[in-house]
Structure 1
Amino acid sequence: MSFTSLQGKACRSSIKMSANNVETENEKNDQISEEVDVCVVDYTIKHPLQCAWTMWYFENDRSQNWEDNVREIASFQTIEDFWALYNHIKPASELKQGNDYSLFKTGIKPMWEDPANKRGGRWLLSLEKKQRNQELDRCWLDAILCLVGDAFENSVEVCGAVVNIRGKGDKIAVWTADANNGPAILEIGKKLKERLHLPGRMQLGYQIHHDLMAKNSSVTKNCYTL
């Protein structure tokens, strides 16, 4: 057999092998495409919450009255919009002393006098000033996730939550609608303490809004303690 014939045979074999390789690669690409198609996520789909929520900001400007200092930041009613908001505002630990964040069901203002709040009270967690950089942001996030995630059996009783940044120590509170609904209050408090992963020495106390408005001293008696 001549060199030309051998060369031609080798070329035909090479072409055949190349064709087979192309087919194999195409099969692999088709398989990868199928696998990718299965994993495609549609980011236009949002996951609705049980109700709409509104975030508020209070700035302690002594030249204005209390209501003028409270500003609505934004409202949301999906999980994705909650995270979009939370990730684009300052952490609570970076707020100035005397300022607050509040998260309430849309339509309820973060004030005792609101019709949805006036008969209720709050579960209160007090944090030492040194805990601001360690625990404050984690506890605040865990608390509001309980709200938006509908973590309580008695979520209908929950009005909102507030974080206060103060010189002597910060506070996180979850507000409820009816201070006379003992079973619901206790269920909410126990679930909140569980989700906040509080050490044994830290307690939650439940206070009635009416007592806070009428108090004559700096200490308000707790109706329940956990």
Structure 2
Amino acid sequence: MTDTQEVKTVLNDAADYNVMHGLNSQWTLWFDNPSRRTSTSNWTANLKEIVTISTVEEFWGVYNNVVIAFEIPNGANFHLFRKGIRPMWEDPANENGGKWGYQFQRSIGEKVNEHWLHTLLACIGETFESSPDVCGAVFSNRKSCFRVAIWTRNAADKESCENIGRHLKSVLGVSQALEYFPHSESTKNAMYVV
């Protein structure tokens, strides 16, 4: 853009804008459909990197052109992670972390798309007080529920983890307790609850 060109954003010219709104971090959308997987190596083969976004406009372009969360196949997952972090426990950014999660009953129906969208916007907008500790978000479609989760970098940082959990609870608009589970633990007991 030159100094003499008129500034046109997507807000005032959706077809011919010349200014983009950059994100603080780049984010990568991943998808997996584990319907036929039987092992970890099979799961890794099913994990597909879809696109990396770096602007608000790219986010909305992707969001408006992929299958909505409610409609992904049963057993499938969407993952939105910071660029360079794979959505797997073994990734160095995740290995010492954990996740906050919430399960929505299937009866919520398509309303779950709003919860997923709000979670995505909180990630890319870096609205979490401890945003650098957020690695990514996961949406899972299961037979009995829909699950939304935020993965964090450092399970040992209680203050950061609890800040993230409280904000996720607010983003999701739920009053029930959220539980945090570290990736390294094979226990069914939550490490933190907000």
TM-score with structure 1 setting the length: 0.75
Aligned to 1:78: 55
3-state SS of the aligned residue for 1:171? Answer: strand
Aligned to 2:108: 131
Which amino acid in 1 is paired with 2:184? H
Aligned positions of 1:170-185 closer than 5 A? 170-185=146-161
The Cα shift of 1:76 comes to: 0.7
Number of equivalent positions:
180
Matched, 1:141 2:109: no
Q: Are 1:55 and 1:75, in contact at CA under 8 Å, matched by a contact in 2?
A: yes
Which amino acid in 1 is paired with 2:52? S
Question: Structure 1 residues 40, 126: closer, same or farther in 2, change over 3 A?
Answer: closer
Aligned positions of 1:95-134 closer than 5 A? 95-134=72-111
The Cα shift of 1:94 comes to: 0.3
Aligned to 2:66: 89
TM-score with structure 2 setting the length: 0.87
The separation in 1 between residues aligned to 2:12 and 2:170, in whole angstroms, is 36
Q: Are 1:57 and 1:71, in contact at CA under 8 Å, matched by a contact in 2?
A: yes
Q: Unaligned stretches of 5+ in structure 2?
A: 1-7
3-state SS of the aligned residue for 2:34? Answer: coil
Question: Percent same amino acid among aligned pairs?
Answer: 35
The separation in 1 between residues aligned to 2:88 and 2:57, in whole angstroms, is 27
Aligned positions of 1:186-205 closer than 5 A? 186-198=162-174, 200=175, 202-205=176-179
Q: Unaligned stretches of 5+ in structure 1?
A: 1-36
Instruction: Give the structure with the higher percent helix.
Output: 1
Q: Are 1:120 and 1:175, in contact at CA under 8 Å, matched by a contact in 2?
A: yes
Which of the numbers 159, 165, 168 marks the counterpart of 2:144? 168
